[in-house]
Amino acid sequence: MLKELHKFQKAKNQIPKRHKLRLTLNLKLQILNFYIVIPAHNEEACIKQTLDSLVAQTLLPKKVVIVNDHSTDNTQQIVETFASKYNWISLVNTISSDKHLPGSKIINAFYKGYETLDEDFDVICKFDADLIFPKNYLKQLAFHFNANKKLGMASGFCYIEKNNSWILENLTRKDHIRGALKAYRKTCFEEIGKLKPSMGWDTVDELLAKFYGWELLTDETLHVKHLKPTGISYNKASKHLQGEAMYKMRYGFVITLISALKLAYKKGSFNLFKDYMAGFFKAKKEKLSFLVSEEQGAFIRNLRWKGILSKFK
């Protein structure tokens, strides 16, 4: 063994300096352990492509858990095929509502998978089951996490297919990481209290990360194909949950009004604005529990106002 190490060191000393730097960087990247949890409900049309893209990563994840959440199609069988080939892919079956609902259903399924994992990870990811990742996706995220120790969350950008071309999904923003492809540094994940089983979980996580001094990064060079546009499977009853989430994050009436208008405009439906506001007032009337403390709520409102006012400068 010592002889082999000596040979490696001797060979390393003969490598040009610029290549040594690349070798050292690659070795550092390998240190990061990525654990991925993928909730899946009736995803037979997409899950294979998602797993194919993860199997093809230049930096492989250490563990991938797919949570088959009450699927009635061939999702389970497809995942079992992958699990039989790769010992770092596993399947968890669970039963919940058979409806596509944002928020609590997704996060409860996430925790069913998360509970099966050990603590030996550096980055925990919550991915959707309808994504195709570029081959360098995890390696590039590892580079970003290594380069900035204050980086708490990172992702690429979602692209959807339209008229035979892949275009940037209209809900994408440079300052927001989509719920479909979340990746958290372990210490950030723990400090924000992990994920909230509620609509708005994919916004409050970022707001709390900023509250605790963490930075976020979106890499526009990482194009992730989103096979099903966000919200396409959600029913009308779930639309009220968006307004409920704004209440739970302590936005207050005015910020909720502005946010609801903006989101409804982006989705091209004024009826959604009415749904969002109805959800907000319903939550307020029922005095639902907040997702954040008063101090965190004040920070969030201040952050939101800064963002709103910056648009007029």
Mean per-residue pLDDT, 144-159: 97
* Weakest mean pLDDT among 21-25, 59-63, 227-231: 21-25
Q: How confident is the model at residue 2 (pLDDT cuts 50, 70, 90)?
A: very low
Is residue 117 within 8 A of residue 65, CB to CB? The reply is: yes
Q: In this predicted model, what pLDDT tens digit does every residue of 208-246 receive, in sequence order?
A: 999 999 999 999 999 999 998 765 555 555 778 999 999
Range 94-106 average pLDDT: 75
Least confident of 49-53, 107-111, 167-171, 257-261: 167-171
Secondary structure of residue 263 in the 3-state scheme = helix
Answer whether residue 60 shows pLDDT above 80.
yes
pLDDT value for 309: 87
Q: Using DSSP bridges, classify how beta strands 123-127 and 34-40 pair: parallel, antiparallel or unpaired.
A: parallel
- Mean pLDDT for all residues in the chain: 88
Share of the chain above pLDDT 90, in %: 72
For residue 142, what pLDDT band results from cuts at 50, 70 and 90? very high
Instruction: Give the integer Cα–Cα distance in Å for 213 and 210.
Output: 5
User: What is the distance between the alpha carbons of residues 32 and 132, in angstroms, rounded to a whole number?
Assistant: 21
* pLDDT, tens only, 168-217: 987 667 889 999 999 999 999 999 999 999 999 999 999 999 999 999 99
Q: According to the model, what pLDDT value does residue 29 have?
A: 45
Residue pair 59/34 in contact by the 8 Å Cβ criterion: yes
Residues 239-288 pLDDT 10s: 789 999 999 999 999 999 999 999 888 888 889 999 999 999 999 999 99
**Phi, psi at 295, each rounded to 5°:** -65, -45
| Eight-state DSSP code of residue 140 | H
Predicted local confidence at residue 302, as pLDDT: 97
Question: What pLDDT is recorded for position 8?
Answer: 41
